[in-house]
């Protein structure tokens, strides 16, 4: 049973999920681009395959380090299946890079509940968010949950609220110097913020519409469950619990404000949604739960199987 298999953390889980992402990337790149193979193309695709797997491992590290789920691999299971449902993601390298830097920022944001090296963590998070914005402008919205995290952390003060501006200005000036050196131009600044588009015509394709509906439906279902359970969460865990909700809403806005709607922008939503979905699935002890309520146990088991099978089904859409 998948609840038992992914309810544990073993090396084989990571191996299977890593292979799953590699296969998803290969299918996505083959179906969405020409088959002309060059050494440069092999290098680029190899680098982005590696980046995709590293995102998976980094997300798992963040989850374990900050105890966002119990000791299982449900979250990275959801992340792998969701990203494989939308192979168009693997063709948008700027979005992949932006998301990777945002996950690095997420690592620092979630660790702020520990008061050690707070200023350094805030600076690091602001630097990663600003770098992400160079690839996808609306990544800057992640400064909002960063400020929420600063307010919620122990011993917060107004000076720490100003640190994100320092990180932003440092990257801004470094990129400006680089652009002036390479092109003797300041044009990059005027092209940085692309116009917001609400043209969802690409979503008319079944290969985008159906996976997007599944992912957003899952987000609404598990998000509502998370809000309902808010009153039952201990005071110690409530800050992280709320912060994950803020991050999920922010990631949805980042996707919504993008200059193009191809389906690839949903990548920003996948990390927080995967964590929230894992919290929903793990909300019971498997053996004990089977004795108490078999219907809900099998509902969740079937849900996991569907999430696993759907990426293969969507390949033929």
> Which pLDDT tens digit goes with each residue over 136-188?
999 999 999 999 999 888 777 788 899 999 999 999 999 999 888 888 777 78
**pLDDT at residue number 113:** 80
Pick out the chain residues at pLDDT < 70.
Answer: 31-36, 283-293, 316-317
The Cα 195–Cα 130 span in angstroms is 18
**pLDDT at residue number 58:** 95
How many independent structural domains does the chain possess? 1
**pLDDT at residue number 316:** 66
Q: What is the pTM of this model?
A: 0.91
C-alpha neighbours within 13 Å on the C-beta side of residue 5:
13
**pLDDT at residue number 285:** 47
Q: Which domain holds residue 88?
A: 2-314
- The b-or-e profile of 273-290 (16+ CB within 10 A means b, else e) is bbbbbbbbbbebeeeeeb
């Amino acid at each position: 049973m998948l609840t038992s298999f992914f309810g544990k953390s073993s090396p084989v889980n990571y191996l299977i999920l890593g292979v799953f992402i590699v296969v998803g990337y290969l299918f996505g790149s083959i179906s969405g681009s020409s088959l002309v193979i060059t050494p440069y193309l092999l290098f680029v695709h190899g680098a982005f395959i590696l980046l995709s797997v590293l995102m998976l491992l980094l997300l798992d590290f963040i989850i374990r380090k900050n105890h966002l789920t119990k000791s299982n691999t449900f979250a990275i299971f959801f992340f792998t299946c969701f990203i494989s449902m939308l192979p168009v993601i693997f063709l948008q390298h700027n979005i992949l890079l932006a998301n990777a830097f945002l996950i690095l920022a997420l690592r620092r944001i979630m660790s702020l509940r520990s008061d050690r090296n707070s200023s350094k963590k805030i600076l690091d998070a602001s630097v990663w968010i600003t770098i992400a914005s160079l690839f996808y402008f609306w990544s800057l919205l992640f400064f909002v949950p960063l400020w929420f995290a600063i307010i919620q952390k122990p011993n917060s003060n107004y000076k720490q609220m100003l640190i994100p501006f320092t990180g932003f200005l440092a990257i801004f000036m470094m990129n400006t110097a680089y652009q002036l050196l390479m092109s003797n131009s300041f044009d990059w600044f005027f092209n940085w913020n692309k116009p917001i588009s609400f043209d969802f015509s690409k979503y008319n394709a079944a290969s985008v519409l159906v996976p997007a509906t599944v992912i957003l439906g899952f987000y609404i279902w598990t998000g509502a469950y998370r809000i309902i359970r808010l009153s039952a969460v201990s005071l110690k865990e409530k800050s992280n619990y709320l912060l994950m909700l803020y991050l999920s809403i922010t990631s949805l806005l980042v996707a919504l404000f993008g200059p193009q709607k191809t389906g690839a922008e949903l990548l920003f939503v996948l990390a927080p949604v995967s964590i929230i979905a894992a919290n929903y699935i793990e909300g019971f002890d498997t053996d004990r739960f089977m004795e108490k309520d078999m219907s809900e146990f099998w509902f969740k088991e079937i849900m996991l199987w569907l999430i696993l099978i759907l990426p293969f089904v969507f390949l033929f859409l």
